[in-house]
Amino acid sequence: MRNNNRKVVIKLSNRNLKSNRMRNIFAVGAITLTCILFTVLSSIGVGMIQVSQEQIMREVGGKFHASLEGTLKEEMESITEDPRVKEFSWNIYVGHVENILKRNGEIRYTSSKKELENSFISLKEGKMPKNEDDIIIDTFILDELKLPHELGVKVPLTFYFQGEKIEKTFKVCGWYEGDGVSHASQLYISKNYWKKLKGDKTGNDFKEWARKHPEDSNVGVYTVGLFFDSTKNIESTVQSIIKDAGYEPGGQVKDSVNWAYIQNRAEKVEPGTLFLMAGALAVIILTGYLIIYNIFQISILQDIRFYALLKTIGTTKKQIKFLIRRQAFLLSLAGIPIGLAVGYGISKVLFPAALSMLDFKDMEISLHFHPAIVLFAAGFSLFTVAVSCRRPGKIAGSVSPVEAVRYTERGKKRKKAKKTESGAKIHAMALSNLGRNKKKTVFAILSMSLSVVLLSMVLTAMGSFQLDSYLKSRLLGDLTAANINYTSSSRSSDFTVEADYVDMLDSQPGILSRSEMWTNSGLDCVYLGEKEQMKYQELDDKGLLRKGNEINAAVLNKRLDSGLMPGNRYAYNEALLMNLKIMEGELDIEKFRQGGYVLATSFLGNKTVSLYEPGDKVTLGFITDKSVPREIKNEDGQQIDVIYENQRMLQYEVMAVIEVPSSMDKRIYNVDGVDFVLPMEDMKENTLNPTRFAVSYELEKDAIINFEAAAKNYTENVNPYMGYLSKRQLKEEFSGLLSGISVLGIVMSGVIAFIGILNFINSTITGIFSRKQEFAVLCSIGMTKEQLKKMLLVEGLYYVLIASGISVVLGSALSWAVLRALNQFILFFDYQYNPWAFLIMIPIFTTIACVVPVVGFTRVGRESIVERLRNTQS
DSSP assignments along 712-745, one per residue: HHHHHHT-TTEEEEEHHHHHHHHHHHHHHHHHHH
pLDDT value, residue 573:
92
Q: Are the CB atoms for 332 and 324 separated by under 8 Å?
A: no
Predicted confidence band at 747 (pLDDT cuts at 50, 70, 90)?
Answer: low
Lowest mean pLDDT among 218-222, 267-271, 398-402: 267-271
Whether the predicted pLDDT of 189 surpasses 90: yes
Predicted confidence band at 871 (pLDDT cuts at 50, 70, 90)?
Answer: low
* Overall average pLDDT of the 589-618 stretch: 83
Summarised one tens digit per residue, pLDDT across range 383-430 is 878 877 777 777 777 766 665 555 544 444 444 444 444 445 777 887
Whether the predicted pLDDT of 109 surpasses 50: yes
Predicted confidence band at 457 (pLDDT cuts at 50, 70, 90)?
Answer: confident
pLDDT value, residue 410:
47
Q: Are the CB atoms for 671 and 546 separated by under 8 Å?
A: yes
Whether the predicted pLDDT of 133 surpasses 90: yes
Whether the predicted pLDDT of 297 surpasses 50: yes
Whole-number Å distance between alpha carbons of 482 and 480: 6
Lowest mean pLDDT among 374-388, 422-436, 775-789: 422-436
Summarised one tens digit per residue, pLDDT across range 66-75 is 999 889 999 9
Predicted confidence band at 743 (pLDDT cuts at 50, 70, 90)?
Answer: low
The 10 Å CB-count burial string (b at 16+, else e) for 499-533 is eebbebbeebebbeebbbbbbbbbbbbbbbeeebe
Predicted confidence band at 207 (pLDDT cuts at 50, 70, 90)?
Answer: confident
What are the domain boundaries of the chain?
A: 1-62+264-407, 65-257, 521-689
The 10 Å CB-count burial string (b at 16+, else e) for 640-667 is bbebbeebeebebebbbbbebbebbbbe
Contacts 24+ apart (CB under 8 A), 357-362: 357/736, 357/739, 357/740, 357/743, 358/51, 358/736, 358/737, 358/739, 358/740, 358/741, 359/733, 359/734, 359/736, 359/737, 359/740, 360/51, 360/54, 360/55, 360/740, 361/736, 362/177, 362/179, 362/180, 362/181
Whole-number Å distance between alpha carbons of 751 and 729: 34
Whole-number Å distance between alpha carbons of 320 and 317: 5
Whole-number Å distance between alpha carbons of 776 and 778: 5
Predicted confidence band at 155 (pLDDT cuts at 50, 70, 90)?
Answer: very high
* Bigger pLDDT: 279 vs 714: 714
Among the ranges 177-181, 245-249, 298-302, which has the highest mean pLDDT value?
245-249
* Bigger pLDDT: 601 vs 857: 601
Whole-number Å distance between alpha carbons of 856 and 789: 9
Q: Give me the phi and psi of 437, to 5 degrees please.
A: -135, 90
Whole-number Å distance between alpha carbons of 149 and 160: 26
Among the ranges 407-416, 450-459, 608-617, which has the highest mean pLDDT value?
608-617
Whole-number Å distance between alpha carbons of 435 and 417: 11
* Bigger pLDDT: 20 vs 274: 20
pLDDT value, residue 55:
67
Whether the predicted pLDDT of 534 surpasses 50: yes
Whole-number Å distance between alpha carbons of 546 and 563: 18
Which residues are CB-contacts of 518 (< 8 A; sequence separation ≥ 6)?
Answer: 570, 571, 572, 680, 683, 684, 690, 691, 692, 693
pLDDT value, residue 426:
78
Coil, strand or helix at 130 = coil
Residue 492: CA count within 13 A, CB half-sphere: 8
Whole-number Å distance between alpha carbons of 370 and 347: 12
* Bigger pLDDT: 471 vs 620: 620
Q: How much helix, strand and coil, in percent to the nearest 5, is found in the chain?
A: 55, 20, 30
Whole-number Å distance between alpha carbons of 815 and 279: 11
* Bigger pLDDT: 846 vs 20: 846
pLDDT value, residue 646:
87
Summarised one tens digit per residue, pLDDT across range 318-363 is 888 888 888 888 888 888 899 888 888 877 766 665 555 444 444 4
Whole-number Å distance between alpha carbons of 691 and 496: 6
Average pLDDT of the residues of the chain: 79
DSSP state of 528: -
pLDDT value, residue 264:
47
Among the ranges 73-87, 98-112, 405-419, 632-646, which has the highest mean pLDDT value?
73-87
Whole-number Å distance between alpha carbons of 520 and 622: 9
Summarised one tens digit per residue, pLDDT across range 475-509 is 888 999 999 888 876 566 788 999 999 999 999 99
pLDDT value, residue 639:
66
β strands within 97-192, DSSP E? 104-109, 125-126, 134-138, 154-161, 164-176, 184-189
Whether the predicted pLDDT of 587 surpasses 60: yes
The 10 Å CB-count burial string (b at 16+, else e) for 263-296 is ebeeeeeeeeeeebeeebeebbbbbbbbbbbbbb
Q: Are the CB atoms for 523 and 644 separated by under 8 Å?
A: yes
Q: Are the CB atoms for 556 and 539 separated by under 8 Å?
A: no
Tell me the DSSP string of 232-251.
TTHHHHHHHHHHHTT--BTT
CA–centroid distance for 242 within its chain: 32
* Overall average pLDDT of the 172-186 stretch: 86
What is the sign of the dihedral through the CA atoms of 109, 255, 71 and 64?
Answer: negative
Summarised one tens digit per residue, pLDDT across range 55-64 is 677 767 788 9
* Overall average pLDDT of the 621-648 stretch: 79
pLDDT value, residue 607:
52
- Tell me the pTM: 0.59
Coil, strand or helix at 487 = helix
Report the candidate in 93, 87, 97 with the shortest Cα–Cα distance to residue 71. 93
Among the ranges 346-360, 428-442, 631-645, 789-803, which has the highest mean pLDDT value?
789-803
pLDDT value, residue 638:
65
Count of C-beta atoms within a 10 Å radius of residue 831: 19
pLDDT value, residue 828:
60
Predicted confidence band at 815 (pLDDT cuts at 50, 70, 90)?
Answer: confident
pLDDT value, residue 424:
57
Summarised one tens digit per residue, pLDDT across range 643-675 is 788 889 999 999 999 988 888 988 776 666 789
Q: Give me the phi and psi of 168, to 5 degrees please.
A: -145, 145
Whole-number Å distance between alpha carbons of 51 and 63: 13
pLDDT value, residue 423:
47
Lowest mean pLDDT among 243-257, 469-483, 762-776: 762-776
Q: Are the CB atoms for 227 and 256 separated by under 8 Å?
A: no
How large is the C-alpha radius of gyration of the chain? 36
Whole-number Å distance between alpha carbons of 697 and 680: 18
